[in-house]
Amino acid sequence: MTGQPTADAAAGSEQNWSYAQAAAQALGDAMAQDARVVVLGEDVGRGGIFGQYQGLQQRFGTQRVIDTPISEAAIMGAGVGMALAGLKPVVEMRVVDFALCGMDELVNQAAKNRFMFGGQGRVPLVARMPGGIWDASAAQHSQSLEAWFAHLPGVVVVCPSTPQDNHALLRAALDCGDPVVYIEHKTLWGMRGQVDPGLSLPLGRAALRRRGDALTLVSWSRQVQVCDEACGRLAEAGIGVDLIDLRTLWPWDRETVLESCGRTGRLLVVHEAVQAAGFGAEIAATAAEATGCRIARLGAPRIPVGYAPVLEAQSRVDAEAIAAAARRLLD
Q: What span, in angstroms and rounded, lies between the C-alpha atoms of 329 and 36?
A: 50
Q: What span, in angstroms and rounded, lies between the C-alpha atoms of 286 and 122?
A: 30
Of 329, 331, 271, residue with least CA distance to 300: 271
* Residue 271 annotated to the active site: no
Cα distance between the two ends of the chain: 18
Planar angle of CA 22, 153, 299, nearest 5 degrees: 65
Q: Within a 10 A sphere around the Cβ of 250, how many other Cβ atoms?
A: 22
Judge whether 278 and 271 are in contact, CB under 8 Å. Answer: yes
CA 128 to chain centre: 10
Exposure letters 10-38 (e unless 16+ CB within 10 A, then b): eeeeebebbbbbbbbbbbbbbbeeeebbb
Q: Kindly report the backbone phi and psi dihedral angles of residue 176, in degrees, each rounded to the nearest multiple of 5, phi listed first.
A: -70, -40
Planar angle of CA 181, 200, 279, nearest 5 degrees: 35
Q: Name the catalytic one among 141, 167, 185, 271.
A: 141
Q: Kindly report the backbone phi and psi dihedral angles of residue 155, in degrees, each rounded to the nearest multiple of 5, phi listed first.
A: -120, 155
Catalytic site positions: 141
